[in-house]
């Protein structure tokens, strides 16, 4: 039996009334939610338009965080994964990795293990621990954005066989202390950015700072090389 199809013009039926009703509630519901909890809705809007706030930071509690914005995780093999924390990735935006230490290289705390680059600007990343480089995450070269998308998973940089794990992680931050520190670092960076913006043009200020003094996401990407150097000294040249 051959099936037949018919065309229905919704403008000649009640279909258009249903669509108008749906559109009405699509507008009404967000407005009602705003009236009920304006602060929560405002926070959601901030996330959508790219505001750098502590609400968007990812801080897994089972990792060791160094004050130079690297993290470490000791594996069953005895090797320690090392990567960049989520706050640093939100501050810089997408970057490329270069001059990475290679397997067999020995490093000590403070030794440069890699550099991150963006449009001719760069930052040095120092090792938080001593030991031998065992492997490097080569997938980062093919997809640098993975460090931003999954900094604590697929975005790790390299693995080190630690020599003094207990002694050198004693000053690292873990669990709730890491959460508190990350929030304090964000507040410190806001002050740093405000001072840096004063040195820049008013136009640059509008790009980096939002209404109410909030920071745009990836603020460092809009700042010149001199600010990157200051950021290096104040935020990354610290170990522990």
Does the pLDDT at position 6 exceed 60?
no
Q: Are 218 and 92 in contact (CB under 8 A)?
A: yes
**Could you give phi then psi for residue 178, rounded to 5 degrees?**
-70, -40
Q: Is the dihedral of CA 226, 231, 234, 239 positive or negative?
A: negative
pLDDT band per the 50, 70, 90 thresholds, residue 41: very low
- The least confident of 105-114, 120-129, 211-220, 227-236 is 211-220
Does the pLDDT at position 42 exceed 50?
no
Structure tokens at 217: 């996401």
What does the angle CA 161 – CA 165 – CA 171 come to, to the nearest 5 degrees? 135
What is the enclosing helix (H) or strand (E) of 123? strand 121-126
Output Rg (C-alpha) for the chain, integer angstroms: 24
Give the fold, CATH level 3, of 53-240. OB fold (Dihydrolipoamide Acetyltransferase, E2P) (2.40.50)
For tokens 């001719």, name the residue.
120
pLDDT band per the 50, 70, 90 thresholds, residue 48: very low
The domains of the chain are located at: 10-52, 53-240
Please report, for the chain, how many H helices and E strands are present, in that order: 9, 11
Total residues belonging to the chain: 240
Q: Is 185 exposed, middle or buried (0-12, 13-18, 19+ CB in 10 A)?
A: buried
For tokens 């994964």, name the residue.
81
pLDDT band per the 50, 70, 90 thresholds, residue 67: very high
Helices (H), 61-138: 86-92
pLDDT of residue 195: 87
Q: Are 158 and 101 in contact (CB under 8 A)?
A: yes
| DSSP calls for 22-35 | HHHHHHHHHHHHHH
Mean residue pLDDT of the chain comes to 84
Does the pLDDT at position 4 exceed 60?
no
Does the pLDDT at position 228 exceed 50?
yes
Q: Is 105 exposed, middle or buried (0-12, 13-18, 19+ CB in 10 A)?
A: middle
What is the enclosing helix (H) or strand (E) of 70? strand 70-74
Residues contacting 199, CB < 8 A, separation 6+:
227
Can you tell me the distance from the alpha carbon of 194 to that of 27, in angstroms, rounded to the nearest whole number? 37
pLDDT of residue 11: 47
Does the pLDDT at position 152 exceed 70?
yes
Does the pLDDT at position 234 exceed 70?
yes
Query: pLDDT of 183-225, one tens digit each?
Result: 999 999 999 998 888 877 666 666 666 655 688 899 999 899 9
Q: Name the DSSP letter for residue 153.
A: T
Query: pLDDT of 76-118, one tens digit each?
Result: 999 999 999 999 999 999 999 999 999 999 999 999 999 999 9
Picking from 19, 151, 165, the residue whose alpha carbon sits closest to that of residue 97 is 151
């Amino acid at each position: 039996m051959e099936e037949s199809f018919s065309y229905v013009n919704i403008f000649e039926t009640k279909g258009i009334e249903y669509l108008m009703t749906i559109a009405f509630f699509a507008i009404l519901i967000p407005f009602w939610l705003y009236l009920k909890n304006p602060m929560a809705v405002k926070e959601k809007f901030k996330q959508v338009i790219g505001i750098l706030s502590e609400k968007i930071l990812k801080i897994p509690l089972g990792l060791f965080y160094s004050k130079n914005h690297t993290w470490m995780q000791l594996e069953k093999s005895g090797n320690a994964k090392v990567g960049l924390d989520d706050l640093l990735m939100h501050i810089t935006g997408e970057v490329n990795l270069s001059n990475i230490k290679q397997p067999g290289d020995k490093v000590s705390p403070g030794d440069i293990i890699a550099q991150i680059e963006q449009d001719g600007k760069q930052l040095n990343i120092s090792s938080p621990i001593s030991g031998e480089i065992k492997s490097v995450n080569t997938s980062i070269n093919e997809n640098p954005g993975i460090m931003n998308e999954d900094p604590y998973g697929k975005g790790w940089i390299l693995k080190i066989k630690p020599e003094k794990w207990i002694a050198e992680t004693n000053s690292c931050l873990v669990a709730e202390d890491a959460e508190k520190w990350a929030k304090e670092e964000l507040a410190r960076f806001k002050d740093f950015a405000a001072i840096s913006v004063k040195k820049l043009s008013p136009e640059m200020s509008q790009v980096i700072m939002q209404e109410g003094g909030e920071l745009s996401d990836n603020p460092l990407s809009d700042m010149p090389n001199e600010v990157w150097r200051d950021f290096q000294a104040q935020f990354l040249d610290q170990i522990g």
